[in-house]
Structure 1
Amino acid sequence: MTAKPYLTGHYEPVVDEITARGLTVRGTLPPELAGRYFRNGHNPLPGVVPPHWFQGSGMVHGLRLRDGRAEWYRNRWVRTPALDGVPYIGPDGVPNLAASGAATNVIGHGGRILALQEANLPFELTANLDTVGAYDFGGRLRTAMTAHPKEDPVTGELHFFGYGPFPPHLTYHVADAAGNLVRSEVIDGAGPSLMHDFGLTAHHVIWLDLPVVFDHAEQSGIPYRWSDSYTPRIGVMPRTGPAKVRWFEVSPGALLHVANAYEDAAGRIVLEGPRYDRSAWETSWKWWVGAPGHGVEPGVGSVWHRWTFDLTTGAVREEAVDDLVTEFPAINEGLLGREHRHSYAVAFPGAGLREYHIAKFDLATGTRQLLPLGRDRMPGEAVFVPAAGATAEDDGYLLTIVSDLARDASELLVLDASDLSAAPVAVVELPRRVPAGIHGSWIADEETS
């Protein structure tokens, strides 16, 4: 039997946990990089072959940076019941929200570090990546939690949701800056669609009710399929409540990751991110399950797209922003929910590219800048960290772990976000090749003190 694509090449799991100290740094680490860079991803235990990429157990890779030094690297499995084989659906047919892979994202909020996977409760970790346990906000969170919460840079609130195939399909949550869950509200009218991400503006929440929907006949372990009969909609809801959504019909397409959403000068809602058409989605799904006919990458065909919603006229404008095959969008999170100029993403081979790149889009000029990584070198999601005393939106650094198959090694690149053509600010040599993963965060020391 052919090996599953998500267990080979850049995605081949590591088989153990290690700690390495005093890592070699080429160049100079900026002094403002005082904290931890954590990156999560699917890493099944040795001998375990999950039926779907998304079902691999979570492993967080971390680096501790301080005073211009890379003090340590360590990797740890998130020790959840699922890691010990406890099934998500119990013998009573009820989901066990603690039986999580906890493999999609890792964030810091309210002094806690949380590993996330959208069908489950978050799992709290220590600053050294030991697992504390499932976290339910003191018993107040009674749904799953999305792996893509949004922290408002002005209020410090964390906005998130839980969704599922059975009613109520969608519940909206808000935690205050200290991490206390202060609001939970069922959103009426949402359907049984796969809602991996959402949008947040200064005044609105944006819901994605798109045509990948629950289908119990799907046997891959993730029971969702593309449906031509499902009406794709995007909903706009005031943040202040009550939870009344205005739904806009849009053309068929899937969106896993939102780059940003905001209100423009005319009061229109703008939403951006890499969009899949049906062909791109189904080819990607074949890769995720290892089915015949899959492409060579997990995100074949997703291209940058923009939706603009006029709340006065009810009109929707859709447009392609770029034709590169991209995923894992990022911005300067200080502008989350506000109008931004610069976006970043991983660009995959295709659309004229023969190797992986980090891409930077300038929305004001319509231009892009590409950083080629070299043959057999695959970057992960680029996390933006502002420079000390930053005065421009792109005045900062991009952090990304690169998997190098030819050398069987990995590096953390610290890039100048204002100019991708410049040499890396610093390169941290890691003690092993880190498998290609999903999402991560920079967690500054003041966020964990």
Structure 2
Amino acid sequence: MDYTEEYKRKLVTPEEAVKVVKSGDWVEYGSFSGSAVVLDKALAARKDELWDVKIRNCTRSTGTPEVAKVDPTREHFTYIGLQFSGYERKLSDQGLCSYMPLVYHELPKYYREYMDVDVAMIPVAPMDKFGYFNFGPQVSHTMAICEKAKKIILEVNPNIPRCFGQEEVIHISKVDHIIETDYPIAEIPGAVPNDIDKKIASIIMEQLEDGSCLQLGIGGMPNAVGEMIADSDLKDLGIHTEMFVDSMVEMVEKGRVTGARKNIDKYKIVATFALGTQKTYEFINYNPMVLLMPVNYTNDPAVIGRLDKFVSINNCIDVDLFGQINSESSGTRQISGTGGSICFALGAFRSNGGKGFICMTSSFSKGGKLFSRIRPTLETGSAVTIHRGMAPSIVTEYGIATLKGKSLWERAAALINIAHPDFREELIKSAQDMGIWRQSNKR
């Protein structure tokens, strides 16, 4: 069947497409490197015609949204970030972006059962001969958005790679309007690891073995792990992850990753989105080794738990002596989103031979002063990203503190042992004051 005529009927200008948005509507902008760009500008131009339009976006990587720039009062447009990118963090600091807490693997169900979507604006790759548009490297929760949306507008971009997977395409029959664009997909280079990142990565490397199945989070330390794996002699590694990045391409190209020992999705790399440089996007384009799957599959602890020797490696901001982990805020200031760290911590624990690691430098400098990331209690207002009862192993440059099966005084002792030496006596005193220090604990 030829879909050319239907395509032509639905093809409009951006200005015409955004006329479907009404005051009070809930609008979706997509996610990650697939966030609406041209439609965002067209909608922003309608500011004086609209009131109380709520716009959601997940980890926007395509620049500051125009709707936030043109409406500092937020009377016309209210912008909401589901997982903060650097752009959204800056907007939040200015009072121009709200945050929506979530558990990432639950997000598709949020849309299907709890959230309203009036208009979805989704960037896609060009239509194929069967009438399908590919969501590219951001499958995540996109189909759930489209299922709930009353109106769907596609922002067709030839620079978006086509990816295999599940819930990765939408048919033209489901679409209301199409616009054509041609802008480069957002490139996000991996953070450059510093010496402490590399030290932590070397500690993690000792925990890996042939056949391990890996999940790597974002940041310099996970990148350091990826680089070390690529240059190691490890064999038959698997990848089942939230985010696919440049360092994973190197791991595959150097023969470390085959997926041959995976219990499920054997020989396949599984992710829910990809975010990197052009190197990553070229690698995943029409690559049958890579499956981009919805996040309620990739991040489901029950699915993760079916993979033997699953190793989860993520970052955090700080940890308190009770084992509460904060990965997203500094006090009440939102820095990032909850992300998938809780999903993978739970999944790794269920895995036969699995290991979960939350990594951080033991300290940080601010204003010429050194501060500990291991604290007596989290700062007032800080989010508890991972409950203390769910906490996996904590890693700093001084070693690993395994928290599973440990009482409060055992946790305190293990965490103080991997704290920066300058803060250990102070932390012992705090533990004593809080009643979680056993007098016979080693000093």
Task: Report TM bin, short chain.
Answer: under 0.3
The structure carrying a bigger strand percent of its residues is 1
The TM-score with structure 2 as length reference comes to 0.25
Asked which structure has the greater CA Rg, the reply is: 2
The structure carrying a bigger helix percent of its residues is 2
